């Protein structure tokens, strides 16, 4: 039996508001689309949390044997300032302020986005399409919606007719909003007089004379609507109906709601089986936002250069911190929480180092101990298959870390396990840490150098001890302790841990 059959996944589907068994359209293959960044500024930590969460989901699907096509887009045109068909294009505005070409802005912040995700050890997606690379496909979908009578053109702009669509379908089924309430609420916009109804949204916008980014279309020069881009790119690479669509909770309405409407209007099919949404970050109990001055850029977090931070925290510590909470739960940033996460990360990685250095030694198998280890291994899969619960998975990994420490100390000897169970333990303990949760040892390039220096000092200390130079022996121990390196003398020699 394969791992995916042995540990079937259940996940919370935002569309049905319930937890469901995951049954992909094609039994062994998964199509997953995640809304990527609008590349007009540095990616902030709230966005990074979403991408880290779906990286974990992607990794687990691969780990249990699925073939995954993971598509994450780059929005490089069409995302207006207020997300509601008004204002300047965010990229064009930045280009005007910086006196640069829009594609210079796009390239600069796309590079920065990739650099940040590399620091957090995210795997690249299978395909990373851009909106500007799919203008023709977007024009074709706009025309299709016009032909079907579910869109209308006014003065060079094309709008999706929400009320006409709602006559046969259900606009608002993802967010739970009622069309009557949406019609009564909301503020008037400058282009409102162009729309038949104020809840209609643009799928193609006429470019004003000052608008930098523009393309020819049957309706004149313009640019695509933000919502349309994801519909076109997701269905092009994953099909008219695919398995998983993910993004932050802030995109649920109107962006994802509009994506559903466009797809259903065009193909007559629901585009996605399972909608997954990550929750927001808070800081000391408050929503993280630029206006409150409590949002962090990753580089500020690494360097500790923010008035709310006592010091800097590494990328892997932040990744570990993110994994301590379920992806759909709010996550609160504080110095105390990050410091605790740092200790937990170091403890886990110490267990990982022990595990990678262990070798099997035959002994008398303890059936009770063997059964407990097999249970722990099963719990790793069960927790991750239960809506990708990384928090509970970490709890099991820490239980197994205690086992690793006991192996190292000579308690619960390796030989108390059968060789097959020992191999499964090491395979999945290390595999879940690195391949599923995406954690790695930091400063890998300097690790060998650090180890060599510490080993050299341990040798000097042993020589001093042999020469009965106890003052030097104590000084080496105390100086290393001050640097965060603890020595422990045992029967088999001196070992060290980095605090």
DSSP for 426-473? HHHHHHIIIIIS----SSHHHHHHHHHHHHHHHHHHHHHHHTT-HHHH
Which two structure tokens, joined as six digits, stand for 54?
């779906």
Which of 34-48, 107-121, 229-243 shows the lowest mean pLDDT across its residues?
Answer: 34-48
Which two structure tokens, joined as six digits, stand for 231?
């519909």
Q: What is the pLDDT of residue 343?
A: 96
Q: What is the pLDDT of residue 187?
A: 53
Strand partners, 489: 494
Q: What is the pLDDT of residue 448?
A: 53
Torsion of CA 216, 199, 94, 217, to 10 degrees: 0
Gap between the Cα atoms of 491 and 469, Å rounded: 20
Q: Are 105 and 94 in contact (CB under 8 A)?
A: yes
Whether the pLDDT of residue 445 is over 50: the answer is no
Which of 45-49, 125-129, 228-232 shows the lowest mean pLDDT across its residues?
Answer: 45-49
Q: Are 350 and 397 in contact (CB under 8 A)?
A: no
Residues 149-171 have pLDDT tens digits of: 999 999 999 999 999 999 999 99
Residues 390-414 have pLDDT tens digits of: 999 999 999 999 999 999 888 667 8
Gap between the Cα atoms of 410 and 257, Å rounded: 58
Gap between the Cα atoms of 78 and 135, Å rounded: 11
Of the candidates 84, 87, 86, 92, which has an alpha carbon nearest to the alpha carbon of residue 38? 92
For residue 314, the 8-state DSSP code is: -
Which two structure tokens, joined as six digits, stand for 50?
């979403």
Which of 12-21, 344-353, 444-453 shows the lowest mean pLDDT across its residues?
Answer: 444-453
Tell me the percentage of the chain whose pLDDT exceeds 90.
Answer: 68
Q: Are 285 and 332 in contact (CB under 8 A)?
A: yes
Between residues 147 and 492, the one the model is more confident about:
147
Q: Are 434 and 62 in contact (CB under 8 A)?
A: no
Which residues lie below 8 Å from residue 144, measured CB to CB, with a gap of 6+?
Answer: 266
Q: Are 222 and 214 in contact (CB under 8 A)?
A: yes
CB atoms within 10 A of CB 343: 12
Q: Are 252 and 193 in contact (CB under 8 A)?
A: no
Domain boundaries, the chain: 3-278, 283-436, 444-498
Whether the pLDDT of residue 173 is over 50: the answer is yes
Cite the DSSP H helix spans in 151-256.
162-166, 179-184, 226-238
CATH number of this structure's domain 283-436: 1.10.730.10
Gap between the Cα atoms of 206 and 45, Å rounded: 34
Write down the mean pLDDT value for the chain: 91
CB atoms within 10 A of CB 163: 13
Whether the pLDDT of residue 415 is over 90: the answer is no
**From residue 304, how far is each of 50, 126, 297, 314, 441 by CA, in Å?**
22, 33, 10, 10, 20
Whether the pLDDT of residue 105 is over 60: the answer is yes
Gap between the Cα atoms of 303 and 297, Å rounded: 10
Model's pTM, two decimal places? 0.88
Of the candidates 40, 135, 44, which has an alpha carbon nearest to the alpha carbon of residue 96? 40
Helix, strand, coil share (%) of the chain residues, nearest 5:
50, 15, 35
Whether the pLDDT of residue 492 is over 80: the answer is no
Q: In residues, how long is the chain?
A: 499
Which of 144-158, 254-268, 298-312, 313-327 shows the lowest mean pLDDT across its residues?
Answer: 298-312
What's the CATH class of domain 3-278?
alpha beta
Which residues lie below 8 Å from residue 75, measured CB to CB, with a gap of 6+?
Answer: 35, 36, 37, 38, 39, 130, 131, 226, 229
- CA 10 and chain centroid, separation: 19
Q: Are 315 and 121 in contact (CB under 8 A)?
A: yes
By CB neighbour count within 10 A (0-12 exposed, 13-18 middle, 19+ buried), where does 357 fall? exposed
């Amino acid at each position: 039996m394969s791992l995916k059959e042995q540990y079937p996944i259940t996940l919370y589907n935002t569309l049905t508001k319930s937890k469901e068994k995951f049954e992909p359209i094609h039994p062994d293959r998964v199509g997953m689309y995640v809304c990527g960044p609008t590349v007009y500024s540095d990616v902030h930590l709230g966005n990074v949390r979403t991408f880290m969460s779906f990286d974990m989901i992607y990794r687990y699907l691969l780990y249990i044997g699925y073939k995954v096509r993971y598509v994450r887009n780059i929005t490089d045109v069409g995302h207006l300032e207020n997300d509601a068909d008004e204002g300047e294009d965010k990229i064009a505005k930045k280009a005007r302020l910086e006196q640069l070409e829009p594609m210079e802005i796009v390239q600069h912040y796309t590079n920065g986005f990739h650099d940040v995700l590399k620091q957090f050890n995210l795997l690249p997606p299978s395909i990373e399409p851009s909106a500007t690379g799919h203008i023709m496909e977007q024009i074709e979908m706009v025309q299709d919606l016009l032909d079907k009578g579910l869109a209308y053109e006014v003065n060079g702009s094309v709008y999706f007719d929400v009320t006409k669509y709602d006559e046969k379908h259900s606009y608002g089924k993802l967010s739970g909003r009622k069309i009557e309430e949406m019609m009564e609420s909301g503020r008037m916009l400058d282009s409102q007089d162009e729309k038949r109804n104020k809840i209609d949204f643009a799928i193609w916008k006429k470019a004003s004379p000052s608008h930098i980014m523009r393309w020819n279309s049957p309706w004149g020069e313009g640019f695509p609507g933000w919502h349309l881009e994801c519909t076109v790119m997701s269905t092009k690479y994953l099909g008219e109906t695919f398995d998983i669509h993910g993004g932050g909770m802030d995109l649920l309405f109107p962006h994802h709601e509009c994506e559903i409407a466009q797809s259903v209007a065009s193909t007559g099919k629901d585009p996605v089986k399972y909608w997954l949404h990550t929750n927001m970050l808070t800081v000391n109990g408050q929503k993280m936002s630029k206006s409150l001055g409590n949002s962090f850029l990753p580089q500020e977090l690494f360097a500790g250069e923010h008035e709310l931070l006592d010091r800097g925290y590494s990328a892997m510590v932040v990744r570990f911190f993110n994994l301590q909470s379920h992806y759909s739960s709010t996550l609160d940033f504080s110095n105390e929480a990050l410091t605790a996460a740092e200790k937990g990360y170091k403890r886990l990685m110490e267990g990982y180092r022990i595990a990678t250095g262990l070798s099997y030694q035959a002994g008398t198998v303890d059936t009770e101990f063997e059964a407990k280890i097999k249970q722990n291994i099963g719990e790793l899969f069960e927790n991750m298959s239960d809506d990708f619960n990384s928090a509970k998975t970490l709890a099991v990994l820490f239980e197994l870390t205690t086992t690793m420490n006991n192996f190292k100390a000579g308690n619960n000897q390796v030989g108390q396990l059968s060789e097959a169970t020992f191999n499964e333990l090491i395979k999945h303990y290390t595999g879940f840490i690195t391949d599923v949760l995406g954690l790695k040892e930091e400063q890998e390039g300097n690790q060998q150098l650090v180890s060599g220096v510490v080993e050299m000092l341990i040798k000097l200390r042993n020589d001093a001890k042999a020469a009965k130079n106890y003052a030097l022996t104590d000084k080496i121990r105390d100086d290393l302790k001050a640097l965060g390196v603890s020595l422990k003398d045992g029967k088999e020699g001196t070992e060290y841990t980095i605090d």
